[in-house]
Amino acid sequence: MDLAGLAVLVEAAQAGSLAGAARRLGISPLMATRRLAALEEAMGARLMQRTTRSLALTPEGEAMLPFAQAMLENEAAARASVRPSSAGASGLLRLTASAAFGRKVVVPVVADFLTDNPQVSVDLLLTDTVVDIVGQGIDLAIRIARLNDSALIARRLADNPRGLYATPGYLAARGTPATVADLAEHECLCLSGTTHWSFAGDGRERRIRVRGRFTANSIEGLRDICLAGLGIAVLSEWDVRDEVARGALVALRLCDGELEPLAVWGVHPSARFVPPKVRLFMDVLAKALR
């Protein structure tokens, strides 16, 4: 079976268009159209319904897609098995990460990774929304979470220490909280939709309702308002290391609880085969996070 046609089918299903598939594969739209047509002729069935504005899998295409993905993964695994380890990684690596973590941590690692692996190119999507990594063709998602979804294939890369932070000016004006309960008397800067913070202490989890006059859908917004002296925020150590070092922010310690632990995870879509470029990037990022 023609693997080139299978690649067009898989990429078109993920991109939602043949033009998008062509861009991902580095071929012309005309070539993508011809390869898909050849695959459909070989299969004796229409796999995609195409109009001037949209493209969708037919029932036959839906049935074919997982087999196409498996065949492409097996082909990549076969190539990797005979590729010398000294050859390094190659190909397009599609990554996604949250905006703040991506800019502060992932981008510098990507820069070094590209320098050390000249046969690799990277497409990085920075967003604070959870991405459908299969639907969008993502090779690796870097997520900071307490990851409980057993359907995901994930590797723990590092701990992600977090803390409560405020400016010296805010604490001078409002006082310094000593216990979890004290937070109810403070301006708590929260992500949009968040109503509680979770703490671990005395062998149990405690959830306390928090309120404040400012919410945001990004950690960067919370950090900036916190730096303006307008409240207490939950922030990761990597995000405020410089601000704490120069005295712009103070890390708070509560006597009866600590924030629930989170970790940095590398999430990828398949357990059958992890491409060398994905495995190598996770190794490099994990080393950088130590």
For 83-122, the pLDDT digits (tens) are 655 556 778 899 999 999 999 999 999 999 999 999 899 9
Give 188-192 contacts, CB < 8 A, sequence gap 24+: 188/212, 188/231, 188/232, 188/233, 189/214, 189/215, 189/216, 189/222, 189/225, 189/226, 189/230, 189/231, 189/232, 189/233, 190/215, 190/222, 190/234, 191/215, 191/216, 191/217, 191/219, 191/222, 192/216, 192/217
Determine which helix (DSSP H) or strand (DSSP E) holds 243, and give its type and residue range. helix 237-245
- Quick check: 252 and 163 in contact, CB under 8 A? yes
Q: Tell me, what's the pLDDT at 267?
A: 92
Do 272 and 151 belong to one domain?
A: yes
Give me the residues paired with residue 125 across strands.
96
Burial of 164 (0-12, 13-18, 19+ CB in 10 A): buried
The count of C-alpha atoms lying within 13 angstroms of the C-alpha of 240, restricted to the half-sphere facing its C-beta, is 29
CATH of the domain at 18: 1.10.10.10
Q: Determine the pLDDT at residue 55.
A: 84
* 171 plus 254 within the same structural domain: yes
pLDDT of residue 20: 86
DSSP 271: S
The predicted pLDDT at position 75 comes to 79
- Which residue has 């190119």 as its token pair? 121
Give me the CATH number covering residue 151. 3.40.190.10
Does 235 share its domain with 205? yes
pLDDT score for 177: 97
**pLDDT at position 3:** 92
For residue 92, what are its two tokens?
Answer: 């397009």
Cβ(255)–Cβ(128) below 8 Å:
no
Residue 137, classed as helix, strand or coil, is: coil
Q: 50, 82, 114 — which closes off a domain?
A: 82
d(CA 145, CA 160): 9
* pTM attached to this predicted model: 0.72
Sign for the CA dihedral angle at 281, 284, 286, 289 comes to negative
Q: How many domains does the chain have?
A: 3
Query: Are 249 and 280 found together in one domain?
Result: no
Tell me the C-alpha distance between 290 and 286, whole Å.
7
φ/ψ of residue 278, rounded to 5: -70, -45
Q: Give me the domain span that covers residue 60.
A: 3-82
State the pLDDT at residue 170: 98
Angle at CA of residue 156, ends 223 and 284, nearest 5°:
85
Both 151 and 268 in a single domain? yes
Q: State residue 268's pLDDT score.
A: 87
| Regions of the chain short of the pLDDT cut 50 | none
Task: Note whether 133 and 64 are same-domain residues.
Answer: no
Task: Give the tens place of pLDDT for each residue, 137-150.
Answer: 788 999 998 755 55
Q: Among residues 82, 98, 120, which one ends one of the domains?
A: 82
Q: Are 162 and 237 in contact (CB under 8 A)?
A: yes
Q: Are residues 62 and 187 in the same domain?
A: no
